[in-house]
């Protein structure tokens, strides 16, 4: 696509959108439904980017005009509000600049996210639940849809594991840099002696795939297990084995779903998740950093973390890959993750665009 490749080309994007608009008016478009869906997806993405930039330009011009008017009339309150609007527009422009780097093959797709507690029992399981809340808050702030597909609760508190589907524009592109081990240091709320504990949990993200992407899976390579869904789901869920777990034997990849009362629908969702995992593996192989990424998956513990969240004895969240850090962990744990994601995205593109890291500053 002309506007891809790490740097968004505005002129090419406008021409491409006009071309796609013309194709959309072709009455024969939907004779090939898969190609039509892919084309409409590209059209929607481009239209969203272009309309967003145009809206920023309009709002910026309006704010500047309001400031001039306020200065002429000596209205300090109006001028202050307009300056505040300009500041918010600057932040939005920075976010969109980073978002323009989302030109990977699967960046525009929705995302599956798995969160798994590391060793450490209740401490680690509570940390996994905190991460679930953090990513849910981040997604909700973007008006993304969050759906829990599978969850295993801890014995006393927290969760052992959870699988989410996050639906929204460029969900995978934003979240892909969150894959890895996350480390928490805090005074334990479960320790009567109020000692400091270190906990680990892993986060793995992979793109949602559809029928436009062909993933060949031999049915003989699959092991399918049924089990009773856990949690409060009504009598039907608790008394029938509607939950599905599918294991791809050659790779060891496991996909599970218990969100629906229908075993058939759970199986379909689990198969979609399995294909997504296999697709993500292929994408990772194509990236130069794939070896480091896979090495990080060997253990959920010391030496493998990508980010540290320190709540005691001092306050700090630091990404160990980009060295981006903040002294406000409360905001981060409440979903303020954009600066970390921006720094990671800029670092990925930095190999071909040396000044990309300046965007995250």
CATH number at residue 327: 3.30.70.1660
Claim to verify: residue 336 and residue 195 sit in the same structural domain: yes
Closest by alpha carbon to 245, among 256, 237, 234? 256
- The last residue of one of the domains, among 286, 309, 326, is 286
Residue 5 domain flag: no
pTM summary value: 0.67
Claim to verify: residue 269 and residue 140 sit in the same structural domain: no
CA-to-CA dists, residue 246 to 13, 28, 162, 324, angstroms: 41, 39, 16, 38
Claim to verify: residue 309 and residue 201 sit in the same structural domain: yes
Residue 213 domain flag: no
Closest by alpha carbon to 152, among 253, 240, 243, 274? 243
Q: What is the pLDDT of residue 30?
A: 86
Which residue has tokens 């450490």? 120
Q: What is the pLDDT of residue 291?
A: 46
Residue 1 domain flag: no
Length of the chain: 361
Claim to verify: residue 135 and residue 203 sit in the same structural domain: yes
Spell out the long-range contacts of 59-65 with Cβ–Cβ below 8 A and sequence spacing 24 or more. Answer: 59/85, 59/89, 60/86, 60/89, 63/89
State the Cα–Cα distance between residues 304 and 198, nearest whole angstrom.
14
Q: Domain residues for 269? A: 219-286
Which residue has tokens 């849809």? 145
Claim to verify: residue 251 and residue 120 sit in the same structural domain: no
Q: What is the pLDDT of residue 133?
A: 97
Residue 291 domain flag: no
**Structural domain tally of the chain?**
3
Claim to verify: residue 86 and residue 60 sit in the same structural domain: yes
- The last residue of one of the domains, among 232, 260, 286, is 286
- The last residue of one of the domains, among 65, 99, 133, is 99
State the Cα–Cα distance between residues 299 and 56, nearest whole angstrom.
44
Claim to verify: residue 188 and residue 261 sit in the same structural domain: no
Residue 15 domain flag: yes
Residue 212 domain flag: no
Residue 5 main-chain phi, psi, to 5 deg: 115, 15
Claim to verify: residue 56 and residue 90 sit in the same structural domain: yes
Claim to verify: residue 138 and residue 87 sit in the same structural domain: no
Q: What is the pLDDT of residue 239?
A: 52
Claim to verify: residue 167 and residue 306 sit in the same structural domain: yes
Residue 282 domain flag: yes
pLDDT tens track of the chain, all 361 residues? 334 444 457 788 889 889 998 988 888 888 888 788 878 878 887 888 888 889 889 999 999 999 999 888 888 888 899 899 998 898 888 777 777 777 677 888 899 999 999 987 899 999 999 999 999 999 999 999 999 998 999 888 899 999 999 999 889 999 999 999 999 999 988 887 888 899 999 999 999 886 666 677 888 888 988 887 765 444 444 456 788 888 998 888 888 888 778 888 888 888 888 888 888 877 777 665 444 544 545 456 555 689 999 999 999 999 999 999 999 999 999 999 999 998 888 887 654 344 433 444 4
């Amino acid at each position: 696509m002309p506007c891809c490749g790490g740097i968004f080309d505005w002129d090419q994007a406008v021409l491409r959108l006009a071309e796609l608009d013309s194709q959309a008016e072709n009455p024969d478009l939907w004779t090939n439904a898969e190609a039509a869906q892919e084309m409409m997806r590209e059209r929607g993405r481009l239209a969203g980017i272009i309309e967003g930039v145009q809206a920023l330009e309009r709002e910026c011009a309006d704010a500047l005009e309001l400031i001039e008017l306020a200065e002429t009339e000596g209205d300090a309150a109006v001028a202050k509000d307009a300056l505040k609007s300009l500041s918010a527009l600057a932040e939005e422009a920075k976010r969109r600049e980073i978002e323009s780097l989302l030109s990977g093959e699967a960046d525009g797709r929705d995302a599956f996210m798995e969160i798994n507690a590391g060793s450490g029992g209740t401490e680690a399981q509570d940390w996994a639940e905190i991460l679930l809340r953090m990513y849910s808050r981040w997604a909700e702030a973007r008006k993304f849809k969050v759906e829990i597909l599978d969850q295993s609760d801890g014995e006393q508190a927290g969760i052992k594991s959870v699988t989410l589907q996050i639906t929204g524009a460029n969900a995978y592109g934003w979240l892909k840099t969150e894959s890895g081990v996350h480390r928490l240091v805090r005074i334990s709320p479960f320790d009567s002696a109020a000692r400091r504990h270190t906990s680990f949990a892993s986060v793995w993200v992979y793109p949602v795939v559809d029928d436009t992407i062909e993933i060949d899976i031999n049915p003989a390579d699959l092991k399918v297990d049924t089990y009773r869904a856990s949690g409060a789901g009504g009598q039907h869920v608790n008394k029938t084995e509607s939950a599905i777990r599918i294991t791809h034997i050659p790779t060891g990849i496991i996909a599970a779903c218990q969100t629906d009362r229908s075993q058939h629908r759970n199986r379909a969702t689990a198969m979609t998740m399995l294909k997504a995992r296999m697709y993500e593996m292929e994408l990772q192989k194509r990236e130069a950093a794939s070896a480091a990424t896979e090495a990080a998956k060997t253990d959920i513990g010391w030496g493998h973390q990508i980010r540290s969240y320190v709540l005691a004895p001092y306050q700090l969240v630091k990404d160990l890959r980009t060295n981006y850090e903040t002294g406000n962990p409360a905001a981060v744990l409440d979903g303020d993750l954009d600066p970390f994601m921006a720094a990671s995205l800029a670092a990925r593109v930095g190999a071909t665009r040396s000044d990309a890291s300046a965007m995250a500053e």
